[in-house]
């Protein structure tokens, strides 16, 4: 299946639409996500934390943190004294995040982060980069607040390359997931999820984009037979 040009999506990602859509599903977001993924999403987050967090990290930022599952796992795994901060631009999601863990959760847009240059050792973003109006602009903004040599970890869905797994995956994403999600949440969010994942760049394409946006040492690991992928990259000195 030919992929569309990155950052030229056919799915509308206008900021107010995304805010409204995720705000509407905030009450059912966690249980429905865990149900639809058979709770595998939590294992993906644990893997992302193990692969990206270092004992020497002292400032960690979780961008587009949603209800804070990844933020909380980062805090539990971090060394004593490490500051972990979560940001999201959807207030209903942040309110739910704050109930889980007494961490700094800030209302902020990932395209305009309220932090000084070179502020963080590690940035993470789980299933949020795909929702930005311009994910390349988001990558550059995250690079701005990373210190040189700091790491960015991106956890995202992807489309499996194995033909058999791909066929089952596409059936699930195109038919079953939107039907179940929309029935329970009474929202278009899970139809949007399906469409946005299917037009997302492949891991190789995203690696090239990361390098173009000022990252180096880009590597990725496919998870659960290629259903999701973890990218880790470092901020280049330039």
pLDDT tens-digit map of 153-197: 999 999 998 999 999 988 888 888 778 777 776 777 778 888 888
**pLDDT attached to residue 8:** 43
Which sign does the torsion angle of CA 44, 72, 190, 112 carry?
negative
**pLDDT attached to residue 24:** 87
**pLDDT attached to residue 178:** 78
**pLDDT attached to residue 237:** 82
Domain locations along the chain: 15-235
Give the lowest-confidence range in 52-56, 77-81, 99-103: 99-103
Mean pLDDT of the chain: 90
Beta pairing, strands 120-126 & 105-107 = unpaired
**pLDDT band at residue 3 using 50, 70 and 90 as cut-offs:** very low
- Please tell me the CATH superfamily of domain 15-235, with its number: Vaccinia Virus protein VP39 (3.40.50.150)
**pLDDT attached to residue 11:** 67
The larger pLDDT score, comparing residue 211 to residue 12, is at 211
Q: Is the pLDDT of residue 77 over 70?
A: yes
The residue-averaged pLDDT of 140-165 equals 95
pTM value is 0.91
**pLDDT attached to residue 187:** 72
Q: Look up residue 18 and give its two tokens.
A: 């995304």
177 vs 163: CA distance, rounded Å: 20
């Amino acid at each position: 299946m030919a992929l569309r040009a990155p950052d030229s999506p056919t799915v509308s990602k206008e900021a107010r639409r995304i805010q409204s859509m995720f705000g509407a599903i905030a009450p059912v977001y966690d249980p429905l996500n865990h149900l639809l993924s058979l709770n595998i999403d939590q294992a993906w987050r644990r893997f992302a934390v193990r692969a990206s967090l270092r004992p020497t990290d002292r400032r960690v930022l979780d961008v587009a943190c949603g209800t804070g599952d990844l933020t909380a796992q980062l805090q539990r795994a971090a060394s004593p004294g490490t500051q972990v901060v979560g940001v999201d631009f959807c207030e209903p999601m942040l309110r739910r995040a704050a109930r889980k863990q007494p961490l700094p959760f800030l209302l902020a847009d990932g395209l305009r982060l309220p932090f000084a240059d070179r502020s963080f050792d590690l940035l993470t973003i789980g299933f949020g980069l795909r929702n930005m109006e311009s994910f390349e602009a988001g990558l550059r903004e995250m690079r701005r607040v990373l210190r040189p040599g700091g790491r960015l970890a991106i956890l995202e869905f992807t489309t499996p390359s194995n033909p058999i797994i791909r066929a089952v995956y596409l059936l699930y994403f195109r038919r079953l997931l939107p039907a179940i999600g929309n029935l329970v949440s009474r929202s278009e969010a899970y139809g949007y999820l399906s469409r946005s994942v299917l037009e997302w760049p492949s891991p190789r394409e995203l690696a090239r984009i990361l390098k173009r946006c000022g990252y180096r040492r880009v590597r990725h690991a496919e998870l659960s037979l290629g259903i999701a992928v973890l990218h880790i990259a470092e901020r280049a000195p330039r």
